[in-house]
Structure 1
Amino acid sequence: MAAEQGGRSSALRVLEEALGMGLTPAGDAADAVAAEGAYYLEQVTVTEASEEDYEYEEIPDDNFSIPEGEEDLAKAIQIAQEQVTDTQILEQKTVLPSKHAIPEVIEDFLCNFLIKMGMTRTLDCFQSEWYELIQKGVTELQDVGNVPDVYTQIMFLENENKNLKKDLKHYKQAADKAREDLLKTQKERDFHRMHHKRIDQEKTKLINDLKGLKLHYASYEPTMRVLHEKHHTLLKEKMLTTLERDRAIGKINELQATFKNIEIGHGYHVPEIKVAHNYEKENTPEGPTQRGVREAREQIKHKTKMKDNKKDSEFPIDTQPDPNLNLFKENLCPAKFDYKLSNIFRLHELPVSCIAMHPEKDILVSCGEDHLWKLVGLPKGNVLVTGFGHTDWLSDCCFHPSGNKLATSSGDTTVKLWDLYKGDCILTFEGHNHAVWSCTWHSCGNFVASSSLDTTCKIWDVNSEICRCTLYGHTDSVNSIEFFPSSNTLLTASADKSLSLWDARTGKCEQSLYGHMHSINDATFAPRGHMIASCDACGVIKLWDFRKLLPIVSIDVGPSPGNEVNFDSSGRVLAQASGNGVIHLLDLKSGQIHKLMGHDTEAHTVVFSHDGESLFSGGSDGTVRKWS
């Protein structure tokens, strides 16, 4: 009996070891059977009577004893299964499961294991007890899982190892490439850092040089101002001398004609009198400048001879009163600020550059960058006449005092005169070297003045169709020009930040006004003539006392540029067209600024109606907007 118990203990121990190992394929068991000899399993049927009369032999075992009874055996099997479960859990932590697991029956596994180990007695004992328990129904066959395939698992791990080695190789290559890129980037960074330091040093040096040049320029500016004054004085003396010379030549010509008449009538021979300066020119070698002047004079004389019926116009007396002053005093319209957008006239495909009101009728003219000007009837805004002829954008326009003619200036360097009834060009003035920015009529209607990008202004004689005078003095583009009403005084505004007043008869600059810090875009006289308004490229509006030629006030409505300024007929309201599309209305009495918001784009020009009830503005979207 003790031997039987010892056999059972050995069988259980071997069972636990086998369950703990859990790694014997069925194929190995078959090989073991073939190697040990021929073994087979015999099915034994146990009846109920034999179960009661069966006596087991006790096998002594000092190390292990298994409790008797069916419950104790089931408990032992349960403990063994728990150990197997724990072992599988530990294996799952370290070994990945096999892709192809082979299902095994637990008894076949144990039998094969015992046969392979040569433990026949333990095998007989296990089979007897196992089938006895199955027969009694104490235990049930359960699916204890799959026996892992070690070879498959090893192959899987080897494949994983190869893949990891490949990934490691790729990572090493990527790391080497990243290291090279890092070194290259560091070199480029060092290069750009050195370049930045060098540029910074050059910038500091240029700033210092610029400061020095500013100081140097500041020291020369008073000298330049004095030289400009001397230059203007010399120009004045030169023009006066020229006038005296021309007057003396005229007297000499009259005397010669008188002597010829006397000679013809009385038979006396009177020697011809030569003009001194002509005699000197005949005996003095001419330089290139003198030769050019002489050729220009000859051309002018030739043109004058060809136009026998076209004589030079005479400038009117400068002391004539303005006929509109009495009207202003009697019929001053009240100042208005509550304008609202009432109508939009779409007249041009490109931006509108200028608007001018007819001096007598409810008609306006708009000029655009599409090379056209249009005569528009009010209040409907229907186009009456369209003018074609310029080959570039139009910059400005001005009505003849009588209202039957129109002067336009353009980027094609010309000034054209138009017949408004027919819409035809009747005269073209050519002489500027660059674009013409502005034009204006003299109150007598015989002269047109123009200002240009070539830093000069010209006075054109409508009757003789020639340039009577060129005004030199500005050092940058002359953006605006305007005649003072009923006088020979011209006002010009330039990009050199100065305003100038000229005598149209002599071409001399009488006075220059300084105060703007940026390019002056436009300047105009107040209706009563006692004030000048100007605006610059940073939105600063300045008012000047025309009688004292001193600044009155400066108003900043920037930073958007001021493109044009205009007074209403009362002279109390000043309107400015701004680059941000806002129309600023300045109340000269209270100093308040009102804004008209309606343009979607830049506003280029603004003008009041004669009664002050309406205001018209033109923008870069090609529209003219009416405010009332």
Structure 2
Amino acid sequence: MAEEAAVSEAAVSEAAFSLQNITITDDSKDDYQYEEVSADDEFSLPEDDEDLSKALQSIHDQAEDAQIIDFLSVLTSEKSVSDIPQAMDDFFCNFLVRLGMHRTLDCFQTEWYELIERGMFTVNDAGLVPDVYTRNQQLETENLCLKKDLESYKQSVNKTEEALQKMQKERDFHRMNHKRVVQEKNRLVSDLKRLKAHYASYEPMLKQLSEKYQNSLTQKMLTSLERDKAMGQVTGLQAALESLESGYAKQISETKVGHDCTRKKGFEGPTQKALRETRQQKFIVVASSSCDPDKDAEKKMGRRDLKDSEFPDDPEGTPSFEHAKEHTQPLKSGQYQLSSIVKVHDFAVSCLDLHPRKSIVLSGGDDRLWKTWGFPDGNILLTGDGHTDWLSGCCFRPSGTQLVTSSGDCTVRLWDLSRRGCILTLRGHARAVRGCSWHSCGDFVASASADGTGKIWDVNSERCRYTLRGHKGSVNSIEFLPFSSTAVTSSADKTLSLWDVRTGLRVYTFQGHVHSCNHATFNRKGESIASCDSSGVLKLWDMRKLLPILSIDAGPHPANHVAFHRSGDRVALASSEGSVKVLSLAVGQLSILRGPGVEVRCVRFHGQDSLLSAGTDGRVCLWTWAQ
């Protein structure tokens, strides 16, 4: 059809170019014979009254109409080819296959081809499937899909409505709660303002009462000291009178205030307030007492053991503090450097102590053993075995011939180095013993336990003289103030306590830590206390004013142990993060010493320029001061 259209278009164009505009007159007399045009032709000549231009235009229009008709016929033929309906047998076969009706399909094909072979009808006789059926089937399928989508949309809309209602209810609830909180906040703010104003009105009175209380305490302490002194003089005079009457020549030693253990019944005064002074510094420890002196003396004399040791007194100008001046020389600038590492235990090392006169180190660990080894070579000298649980503390006797250890088996053991064995086992704690300390006189041992008590043991009489009760949590450490009758304890109840070991009474409590206190110790002069807690905070306390003087946060890892340098100008802290932190009090600088990277349990200063740290890997690090 396209070729025919092209041929006709070429013919029309050729005819267009062959025409000429010739004017024909009536009087022309040429011999040309014109052909006669019939009325059935596709076009007719114009009438006489029309000119030639109109005729040409009409011919051109007819040619364009023929082209349009031919093009439409081509389009119609293409559309008929693309829209050929599907054959009837193919439609049924596809329909049965889609539905999975294979048996029906087999029956249909058997009968269909049998009829065709017989010649009863041909394929053309079956005809074609009208488009309306296939279209209806498509529309039904689309309708089912649309219904499913509609149901899902309805469910989504219902869920959205429920969620919206729930959110609206929550919004209203939170709005009401916010309004209530705002009202409570405003009420609390007004109450706080009113309380501040009320407290400000009482502050001058409280300050005045505090001053009166301090004055009364001082006056009471002086009165008690004078009374004890007078009673001591009366006791001495009575003893002298009795010796004269009995005829025995007996030398009577001067009776000292509050420490005479040979008094008779009825003459022992209450020495629950003591004044401790050194030539450089003075500090006051006050103890309360409500017992009758006569009854208290009778009670003590009734419990007296002939083997009991005498508690030391606190004379003015104690020689030990005078001797301590030799070790308080100014320190040189520099820093500690790791010099060597010594492997001494198989498990964690929990405690260290230094021999008072020799270069020997004592260590105890979780392997239930204590060991003495040379410094700095690390050669093992002695090994002690006897505890049934981990060791928590160890300490040399001031004479250097014996040592004491504490353990998780609830016992405290005394060991003789010459005998190389345990000579005394002290039992009395209900739970694990967390630490121990030997008094500088060598006659008393103190122990701290997780049962919330501390005990003062008499080595000579082998019994507990006093049980220190007052802490509300585990007592983690205990230590004597050198050459005195004072001890300090640290506890899990976040406090430190000072105790008078002659009476077993608590005389003062330091409060300021916000976490469990792990350890506390005195400096050599006895004027300061250093303590550390489980959050890594290090605090220094003034023994003269009984107030905190310094607080440093070295956390957040727990601090396990604290130690003073003999000069008192450095403090070492054992940290669980695997480092040793050294604070220089002169310059206020905190340096961090990093070793093997394991938890550090204990630190000790050795001499003037050495530092020891023990870790959970059973090794001891030796640090040397380098300028």
TM-score (norm. length: structure 2): 0.57
Task: Mark the CA change 1:275 to 1:376 in structure 2 (over 3 Å): closer, same or farther.
Answer: closer
Query: Cα distance, 1:576 vs. partner?
Result: 1.7
C-alpha deviations, 1:82-103, integer Å up to 9, x for none? 45668999x9xxxxxx99789x
What's the counterpart of residue 374 of structure 1?
Answer: 370
2:162 to 161, 176, 180: 180
1:564 to 558, 561, 565: 561
For the pair 1:417 / 2:414, whether they are aligned, the reply is yes
Query: Cα distance, 1:442 vs. partner?
Result: 1.0
Distance 1:239 1:429 in 2: 37
Query: Cα distance, 1:389 vs. partner?
Result: 3.0
Distance 1:88 1:275 in 2: 139
Query: Cα distance, 1:441 vs. partner?
Result: 1.0
C-alpha deviations, 1:105-140, integer Å up to 9, x for none? xxxxxxxxxxxxxxxxxxxxxxxxxxxxxxxxxxxx
Query: Cα distance, 1:458 vs. partner?
Result: 3.6
What's the counterpart of residue 461 of structure 1?
Answer: 458
What's the counterpart of residue 33 of structure 2?
Answer: none
Question: Is the 8 Å Cα contact of residues 579 and 604 (structure 1) preserved in structure 2?
Answer: yes
1:428 to 413, 426, 429: 426
For the pair 1:364 / 2:357, whether they are aligned, the reply is no
Give the 5 Å matches for 1:607-626: 607-610=604-607, 612-613=609-610, 615-619=611-615, 624-626=620-622
- The alignment partner of 2:155 has SS state of helix
Matched letter for residue 385 of structure 1: T
Question: Is the 8 Å Cα contact of residues 413 and 422 (structure 2) preserved in structure 1?
Answer: no
- The alignment partner of 2:442 has SS state of coil
For the pair 1:403 / 2:439, whether they are aligned, the reply is no
1:81 to 53, 74, 88: 74
- Which of 575-584 and 311-320 deviates more? 311-320
- The alignment partner of 2:336 has SS state of coil
C-alpha deviations, 1:512-532, integer Å up to 9, x for none? 777777765433333455654
Task: Mark the CA change 1:593 to 1:181 in structure 2 (over 3 Å): closer, same or farther.
Answer: closer
Question: Is the 8 Å Cα contact of residues 407 and 439 (structure 1) preserved in structure 2?
Answer: yes
Distance 1:516 1:359 in 2: 32
Give the 5 Å matches for 1:262-273: none
Task: Mark the CA change 1:592 to 1:311 in structure 2 (over 3 Å): closer, same or farther.
Answer: closer
Distance 1:452 1:207 in 2: 45
What's the counterpart of residue 321 of structure 1?
Answer: 319
Give the 5 Å matches for 1:215-230: none
Q: Which runs of 5+ in 1 are unaligned?
A: 1-56, 92-97, 103-145, 263-273, 278-288
- The alignment partner of 1:445 has SS state of coil
Matched letter for residue 345 of structure 2: L
Matched letter for residue 375 of structure 1: K
Distance 2:385 2:359 in 1: 19
- The alignment partner of 2:320 has SS state of coil
Distance 1:425 1:188 in 2: 74
Distance 1:300 1:621 in 2: 51
Query: Cα distance, 1:445 vs. partner?
Result: 0.9
What's the counterpart of residue 578 of structure 1?
Answer: 575
Count the aligned residue pairs: 486
Task: Mark the CA change 1:303 to 1:390 in structure 2 (over 3 Å): closer, same or farther.
Answer: farther
Query: Cα distance, 1:596 vs. partner?
Result: 0.8
What's the counterpart of residue 347 of structure 1?
Answer: 345
Question: Is the 8 Å Cα contact of residues 312 and 484 (structure 2) preserved in structure 1?
Answer: no
Distance 1:200 1:496 in 2: 36
Query: Cα distance, 1:242 vs. partner?
Result: 10
For the pair 1:165 / 2:147, whether they are aligned, the reply is yes
Matched letter for residue 172 of structure 1: K
- Which of 529-538 and 229-238 deviates more? 229-238
Task: Mark the CA change 1:376 to 1:88 in structure 2 (over 3 Å): closer, same or farther.
Answer: farther
What's the counterpart of residue 120 of structure 2?
Answer: none
Task: Mark the CA change 1:394 to 1:326 in structure 2 (over 3 Å): closer, same or farther.
Answer: closer
Question: Is the 8 Å Cα contact of residues 429 and 465 (structure 1) preserved in structure 2?
Answer: no
Q: Which runs of 5+ in 2 are unaligned?
A: 1-38, 45-57, 93-127, 249-263, 268-289
Distance 2:155 2:77 in 1: 46
Question: Is the 8 Å Cα contact of residues 347 and 624 (structure 1) preserved in structure 2?
Answer: no
Give the 5 Å matches for 1:67-466: 79-82=72-75, 149-187=131-169, 190-191=172-173, 194=176, 304=305, 310-315=307-312, 318=315, 320-322=318-320, 325=323, 328=326, 337-340=335-338, 342-343=340-341, 345=343, 347=345, 349=347, 352-368=349-365, 370=366, 372-375=368-371, 377-378=373-374, 379-380=377-378, 384-389=382-387, 394-409=391-406, 414-419=411-416, 422-424=420-422, 426-430=424-428, 436-451=433-448, 457-466=454-463
Task: Mark the CA change 1:196 to 1:507 in structure 2 (over 3 Å): closer, same or farther.
Answer: same
Query: Cα distance, 1:405 vs. partner?
Result: 3.1
Distance 1:207 1:371 in 2: 58
Question: Is the 8 Å Cα contact of residues 483 and 490 (structure 1) preserved in structure 2?
Answer: yes
Query: Cα distance, 1:169 vs. partner?
Result: 1.9
Task: Mark the CA change 1:551 to 1:415 in structure 2 (over 3 Å): closer, same or farther.
Answer: same
Matched letter for residue 464 of structure 1: S
Distance 1:467 1:314 in 2: 13
Question: Is the 8 Å Cα contact of residues 100 and 149 (structure 1) preserved in structure 2?
Answer: no
Distance 1:550 1:504 in 2: 18
Question: Is the 8 Å Cα contact of residues 312 and 463 (structure 1) preserved in structure 2?
Answer: yes
Matched letter for residue 428 of structure 2: E
Matched letter for residue 80 of structure 1: S
Distance 2:265 2:539 in 1: 51
Query: Cα distance, 1:155 vs. partner?
Result: 0.8
Question: Is the 8 Å Cα contact of residues 369 and 387 (structure 2) preserved in structure 1?
Answer: no
Matched letter for residue 146 of structure 2: L
Query: Cα distance, 1:600 vs. partner?
Result: 3.6
Distance 2:192 2:367 in 1: 43
Distance 1:358 1:347 in 2: 19
Matched letter for residue 564 of structure 1: H
Distance 1:606 1:568 in 2: 11
Task: Mark the CA change 1:550 to 1:253 in structure 2 (over 3 Å): closer, same or farther.
Answer: closer
Distance 2:463 2:383 in 1: 28
Matched letter for residue 487 of structure 1: S
Distance 1:471 1:233 in 2: 28
TM-score (norm. length: structure 1): 0.57
2:591 to 594, 612, 615: 594
Query: Cα distance, 1:347 vs. partner?
Result: 3.4
What's the counterpart of residue 483 of structure 1?
Answer: 480
Query: Cα distance, 1:604 vs. partner?
Result: 3.5
Percentage identity across paired residues of the two chains: 38
Question: Is the 8 Å Cα contact of residues 357 and 365 (structure 1) preserved in structure 2?
Answer: yes
Question: Is the 8 Å Cα contact of residues 344 and 380 (structure 2) preserved in structure 1?
Answer: no
Query: Cα distance, 1:446 vs. partner?
Result: 0.5
Task: Mark the CA change 1:493 to 1:247 in structure 2 (over 3 Å): closer, same or farther.
Answer: farther
Distance 2:195 2:393 in 1: 38
Distance 1:226 1:451 in 2: 37
Question: Is the 8 Å Cα contact of residues 563 and 571 (structure 2) preserved in structure 1?
Answer: yes
Task: Mark the CA change 1:401 to 1:78 in structure 2 (over 3 Å): closer, same or farther.
Answer: same
